[in-house]
Amino acid sequence: MKVTILGNNSALPAYGRYPTSQAVTIDGDVLLIDCGEATQIQMQRYGIKWRKLEHIFISHLHGDHYFGLPGLINSMGLLGRNLPLHLYAAKPLESILQQMMAVADTALPFEFHFHPLQENESEVLVDNSKFKIISFPVEHRIPCHGFKVEKKSRGRKIILEKCREYAIPAYFYERLKRGEDYEQVHGFVVKNEWLTEDAPQTKKYAYCADTVFTESFLPYLQDVDTLYHESTYLEAETDRATLRFHSTAKQAATIALKANAKQLLLGHFSSRYKELDLFATEARTIFPNSYVAEEGMEFEV
């Protein structure tokens, strides 16, 4: 699983250096978390294929998190998309998009499914053979959600050399992944443990959107491999962060430590800061494996 920080185009001065949009790639499938202005330009710039995009998740309805969405949806229609598209967001966004399409007499050439997020609740949004995604409420000035993406294991890992040695037919490989033994024609049982290795562990990525410092959603973050947590301010402006329902780098690091995360990505920096390395420096005093997430960066989960 790979996370690509799309951000807003850095040429947009109003947003400073807020990296609010991210693409999560799982075995070729693309998930989009938030969609600020210029997201479709950033997707093209960093090689994110919208044809592989079927699920979009919007944390909340502040402009830097969704103003790029109408343009992206319209562009996909004009460019001949035919796969269904699923959007998960606060209920009011549905009527906003409907009005925009109505006044432009827009008819999308693909199925468009809107899934309203339940305010102040956690819920499973997607659960398929590859991944599971849940939403959870965070605490911001308006209703806001974080998301946790779990890449599922595909079962035990096949050792091809051993399978050839014991003449295991290819059709049986899927059953090997499920842990079954193989019985040869003459009755000899080939043990699964001779043919496979333990499956890779489930990978977990959590995205904490705009939020004040709080442990209210900590249970959803436990033992994640990578945690993205907003860090709009440095510690000297903790009071400002609290007043505006945002967090500092040290507060994000505290959450990562309490969650037993393996890696912390810091983002959503106030435009007042020019030296972003200061955020990592502060966070690492509490959680050493902390990184500044700037647009264009890729992180393996």
Domains of the chain from N-terminus onward: 2-152+202-300 (3.60.15.10), 157-197 (no CATH)
Rounded Cα gap, residues 68 and 39, in angstroms: 6
Please give the structure tokens belonging to residue 167.
């003449």
The per-residue pLDDT for 252 is: 98
Q: 1 near 276, Cβ under 8 Å?
A: no
Cα separation, 23 vs 34, in Å, equals 9
Q: What is the pLDDT of residue 155?
A: 80
Quick one: pLDDT band at residue 7, thresholds 50, 70, 90?
A: confident
pTM: 0.88
Mean pLDDT value of segment 171-197: 91
Angle subtended at Cα 27 by Cα 21 and Cα 32, rounded to the nearest 5 degrees: 15
Helix H, strand E, coil C: the string for the chain is: CEEEECCCCCCCHHHCECCCCEEEEECCEEEEECCCCCHHHHHHHCCCCHHHEEEEECCCCCHHHCCCHHHHHHHHHHCCCCCCEEEEECCHHHHHHHHHHHHCCCCCCCCEEEEECCCCCCEEEEECCCEEEEEEECCCCCCCEEEEEEECCCCCEECHHHHHHCCCCHHHHHHHHCCCCEECCCCCEECHHHHEECCCCCEEEEEECCCCCCCCCHHHHCCCCEEEEECCECHHHHHHHHHCCCCEHHHHHHHHHHHCCCEEEEECECCCCCCCHHHHHHHHCCCCCEEECCCCCEEEC
Do residues 76 and 85 touch, judged by C-beta distance below 8 A? Answer: yes
Report how far residue 76's alpha carbon sits from residue 227's, in angstroms, rounded to the nearest whole number. Answer: 30
pLDDT tens by residue, 206-259:
999 899 999 999 999 999 999 999 999 999 999 999 999 999 999 999 999 999
Nearest to 155 by CA among 169, 132, 175: 175
Whether residue 109 contacts residue 82, with contact meaning beta carbons closer than 8 Å, is answered with yes
Q: Side chain identity at 31, as an amino acid letter?
A: L
Residue 18: what pLDDT?
Answer: 61
Which one from 64, 105, 223, 277 is the annotated catalytic residue?
A: 64
Q: Active-site residue 64, yes or no?
A: yes
Q: At residue 167, does pLDDT exceed 70? A: yes
**What is the average per-residue pLDDT within 152-160?**
87
Checking if the pLDDT of 13 tops 60, the result is no
Q: How far apart are CA 82 and CA 105, in angstroms?
A: 19
- Residue 195 to residue 289: CA distance in whole angstroms: 36
Q: In this predicted structure, what is the pLDDT of residue 10? A: 53
- For residues 22 and 293, what is the distance between their CA atoms, to the nearest angstrom? 10
Q: How far is CA 163 from the centre of its chain?
A: 36
CA distance linking residue 170 with residue 16, whole number of Å: 54
pLDDT at 237: 97
Beta bridge partners of 230: 267
Q: What percent of the chain has pLDDT over 70?
A: 96
- Whether 159 contacts 197, CB under 8 Å: yes
pLDDT, tens only, 93-115:
999 999 999 999 999 999 999 99
